[in-house]
Structure 1
Amino acid sequence: MSEFHADRAKWRKSSRSISAANCVEVALASGSVGVRDSKSPETGVLVVPARRWADFLAAVGDSRLR
Structure 2
Amino acid sequence: MDAMYIKWHAKLIDVSTDGNNTMTGHHAGVVTHLVNCANNDVLRIWCAPHQINIVVKAIAKGINNGV
TM-score (norm 1): 0.31
Higher RCO structure (Cα 8 Å, ≥6 apart)? 2
Structure with the larger strand share? 1
TM-score (norm 2): 0.31
Q: Which of 1 and 2 has greater Rg?
A: 2
